[in-house]
Chain A
Amino acid sequence: AQSVTQLGSHVSVSEGALVLLRCNYSSSVPPYLFWYVQYPNQGLQLLLKYTTGATLVKGINGFEAEFKKSETSFHLTKPSAHMSDAAEYFCAVSFSGGYNKLIFGAGTRLAVHP
């Protein structure tokens, strides 16, 4: 069975500081991995995804994530936080190929303070 664990339900950083949101997954088959962002009262927006190929993936708004198979991790980073990054972030996993139901982690709420 697949599962996702996000370490830290709340993360607070200063504007301009490094953002690191942690995600570990469990999957018996090669996973597809995703990060979604959700702003208050809005839908889920895809930040970035890993399917195959390069393990370092770049997404929108300056975010990137690295797939580390040996560590079963897919941590999300951004070198310099902006106030507009404050939101809920969800890591998700699905099976590679074919049908792709997403399994979400519990989410991490990112707060950015001046």
Chain B
Amino acid sequence: AAGVIQSPRHLIKEKRETATLKCYPIPRHDTVYWYQQGPGQDPQFLISFYEKMQSDKGSIPDRFSAQQFSDYHSELNMSSLELGDSALYFCASQKTMGLVDSNTGELFFGEGSRLTVL
């Protein structure tokens, strides 16, 4: 079965550079979530999109932005990179059913993109 695809898997950048991470959700999934996991930390929610609109925002720095495109893939753009941005970035997708239907609540995670800022 198709899974969530993230690219690139590894990325090395210098301080003050920019980086773009891409996420391709499972087909027919309409919701995408981005999480940041620092070394030895739990995943922290950054931002989410439902039907191409931002649905929620967490601890995402102002230097970061994201969007979801018409084909439902999402991109996380990070500018003015800092050493502290070094982390594993996860994307997850979900099929969010209507209010009438029960929602399984399950998020399907990609393998993550490891960003190293030097």
Contact = CB atoms under 8 A, between A and B. Distances in A.
A99 B46 CA distance: 15
A102 B56 CA distance: 12
A49 B94 CA distance: 15
A57 to B, nearest CB: 12
A44 B99 contact: no
B107 interface: yes
A103 B45 contact: yes
B108 to A, nearest CB: 8
What's the interface size class on A, roughly?
A: 20 to 34
Interface in B94-117: 94, 96, 99, 102-112, 114
B48 interface: yes
Interface in A89-109: 90, 94, 96-107
B56 A51 contact: no
Interface in A66-114: 90, 94, 96-107
Range of interface residues on chain B?
Answer: 20 to 34
A44 B90 contact: yes
A98 B99 contact: yes
Given A43-B90, A49-B105, A99 B43 contact: no
A90 B103 contact: no
A100 B45 contact: no
A101 B45 contact: yes
A100 B42 contact: no
6 contacts: A34-B106, A41-B114, A97-B102, A99-B31, A100-B103, A101-B48
